[in-house]
Amino acid sequence: MQSVVRYLPVVVIIAAATALSGCAAPAEPTPPTEPTLEAEVSPEPAAEEPAPVANDICDLLTDDEINSVIGTHYLAESANFGGLDDEIGGQCIWTTNPEGDIFDFDASQVELVVWVPGSVNPPPADAPLPGSPDVVTSSNGAMFASADRVFWVRATGDASSDPAVISAVQALVPTIVGRL
C-alpha cells in the first residue's frame, strides 16, 4: 500500500496538468502512419493524358499550305504553346526536322506567333496595331493584326534567307487573316 500512495501524487499531477492544458487523448484513434495492407494493394491512379502538342494557332494553316513553303514538315512539339485566346498569345512552329528539333542547323521552319498587346509578351514596336489592315513585311516574313491580336508568320532556320521561301510565307497572310 505504501508504494501506491507514493506514486499517487505523480498520477494526480499528470492528470491535472493534462486537463488544464487541454491535451486530452483524442476521442477517436489516430490512423497508423505506416502503410497498411489496404494501402499497399490499392490500384495506382491512372496516368494523365499527355498534353496536346498542337494548339488552335496551328489550325490556322493546313499541312498542304506548310508543305508548299518548306516541304515535308513536323510539328515542333516542344516549341508550341498558348493559343488564340490565351492572355499572352502563343506560337506554332512547323519544322523539316523529323524529331521536331528547331535548333537543327539544316532544318527550316515556318513559325506563326500571336501576341496580345499590353500583356507580358507584347508585340514588337514595328508591328501593326490591333484592328489595323496593314501588313508589315520583315526580312523573313510578315506581321499583321486582327481586332485584338498581332501575328507574325515567318521563315526561320535554314530557309530564313531564301527569297522564294520568304515570299511563300508572306503569301500565307491573306489565308491566315481569312481564318481569324
pLDDT at 112: 97
pLDDT at 148: 94
Mean pLDDT for each consecutive 10-residue tract of the chain (180 residues)?
43 42 50 49 48 76 95 91 93 95 93 95 94 97 97 96 97 96
pLDDT at 29: 52
What residue type is assigned to position 98 of the chain? P
Taking the whole predicted model, whether its pTM rises above 0.75 is answered as: no
Residue pair 144/131 in contact (Cβ under 8 Å)? The answer is: no
The CA R_g of the chain, rounded to the nearest whole Å, is: 32
Domain boundaries in the chain?
A: 2-41, 58-179
The tens digit of pLDDT for each residue in 47-78 reads 444 444 468 999 999 999 999 999 999 999 88
pLDDT at 54: 64
Q: Using CA atoms, how far apart are residues 168 and 137, in angstroms rounded to an integer?
A: 12
Residue appearing with cell numbers 500571336: 114
